[in-house]
Amino acid sequence: MFLQAKAVPVIVFTGGGTGGHVYPGIAVWQALRQKLGDQVRFVWIGSATGIERSIVESLGLEYRAISTGKLRRYFDWKNFTDLLRIAAGYFQAKKHLRQLRPVFVFSKGGFVSVPPVRAARALKIPVYSHESDLDPGLATRLNLSSSRLVFCAYPESVAHFPEKAQNRVVVTGNPVRNELFSGDPGWIRRTWKVPEGAKVLLVLGGSLGARQVNQLVADSLTRLEGKLFVLHQTGNQWEPLADTPWYASRPFFSTEMPHLYAGADVIFGRSGAGTLWEAAATGVPLILLPLGAGSRGDQVRNAELFAARGAARVLGAEDGPEALLKALNTWFDAPATLAAAKAALATFDAAGAASRIAAAVLEHHPEVNHV
């Protein structure tokens, strides 16, 4: 009689739409893989065309695609067609989950995660979710009733959840990828031949380009030249400016990000959770111009929290070059303030977040630890 081979346990990840919904999930995957080794099969369920697919597949992680539709808080005719896509995604995700029979599903949020989480609930598969922002977004709220535990970034986040669900909310911080800690501090200076003694301002305009951030940098360059070197990620929808000895831009950085964080003295950009916690993990103080109009205000609240702890300076939508220069001067003209900001960033303990999440999940699934 032949013995039947024991099935390899499967853990499913889901989430996407933006890098902020993918990279923290990648960090949790790395932490679980470090704890479990190669005895577990990991699969990511995401959209067919979203940013998550290229990121996940580039890491060699198995990927299953489903139909997705955007969740909007405002009227748009696309809402009707997207509801059909979401419904299709639900049935596709259900089919994948039936085939995979995972031990659990980990959701990193974003509109992509809703169909797989609902499908997991229907199949009685445990779900764990993570929310990166100070207060939960729409996808997290929709996934809340299906989640055994919801991990969140800040102690202040717990009060933003319904009272009856707060006993399932666990504060862990936001996970960041392992590779962020392997950056070369001298890479920026060697690559762009940064003038001797110049400080480095890293501008993160996002993958599509934050128009307000990019325009403020363009308006400020003549005042910054000769004072500090500006390295500018513009996004791919912004007309680039000419490089000079004091300024360089690229549409997008990917594998270079660890070196950029390691070599930057200050970061200027939006206040998405990913940027904030990657800066916290690498100890780089921030100047933030949060997205306000047209958003749910999460970036404003994120920025205010980092500013309250002394880790960031916050600009308003109407602020111009003078305000940016003033914010830069508060860091560079006061070494003690800059040192205090770095100490404040360390209190977020971003480096340990992924491991805390992995440990909390595995505590509920001891069978996975003994495969």
Tell whether the model's pLDDT for residue 66 goes beyond 90. yes
> Quick one: 208 and 309 in the same domain?
yes
SS3 for 29-49 is: HHHHHHHHCCCCEEEEEEECC
Token pair, residue 63, equals 């990927």
Q: List pLDDT tens digits, range 242-292.
A: 999 999 999 988 889 999 999 999 999 999 888 999 999 999 999 999 986
Q: Is the pLDDT of residue 42 over 80?
A: yes
**b/e map of 63-82 (b: 16 or more CB within 10 Å)?**
bbbbbbbebeeeeeeeeeeb
Task: Count up the domains in the chain and report the number.
Answer: 2
Q: What pLDDT does 206 receive?
A: 67
What does the alpha-carbon distance between residue 281 and residue 128 come to, in Å, rounded to a whole number? 24
Q: Does the residue 25 lie in any domain?
A: yes
Residues 34 and 114 in one domain: yes
Are both 31 and 133 inside the same structural domain? yes
- Quickly state the pLDDT bin for 207 (edges 50, 70, 90): low
CATH at residue 18: 3.40.50.2000
Q: Report yes or no: 68 and 87 within 8 Å, Cβ to Cβ.
A: no
Cα–Cα distances in Å, from 176 out to 1, 22, 361, 364? 48, 10, 17, 23
Instruction: Flag whether pLDDT at 78 surpasses 50.
Output: yes
**Tokens at 222, concatenated:** 């003549």
**Among the listed residues 149, 102, 97, the one whose alpha carbon sits nearest the alpha carbon of residue 118:** 97
Q: At which residue do the structure tokens 């360089």 appear?
A: 248
Q: How far apart are CA 348 and CA 280, in angstroms?
A: 7
Which has the closest alpha carbon to 369: 36, 103, 125? 36
pLDDT (average), residues 113-141: 95
Both 84 and 163 in one domain: the answer is yes
Q: The domain containing residue 216 runs over which residues?
A: 179-348
Given pLDDT bands bounded at 50, 70 and 90, which one contains residue 360? very high
pLDDT tens across 319-345, in order? 999 999 999 999 999 889 999 999 999
Poorest-pLDDT segment among 63-67, 228-232, 296-300, 311-315? 296-300
For the stretch 186-199, pLDDT in tens is 999 999 999 999 99
CB atoms within 10 A of CB 4: 6
Q: Are residues 160 and 188 in the same domain?
A: no
Q: Examine the domain organization and report whether 280 and 144 are in the same domain.
A: no
Burial 227-259 (b: 16+ CB within 10 A, else e): ebbbbbbbbeebeebeeeebbbbebeeeebbbb
If asked whether residues 81 and 230 sit together in one domain, one would say no
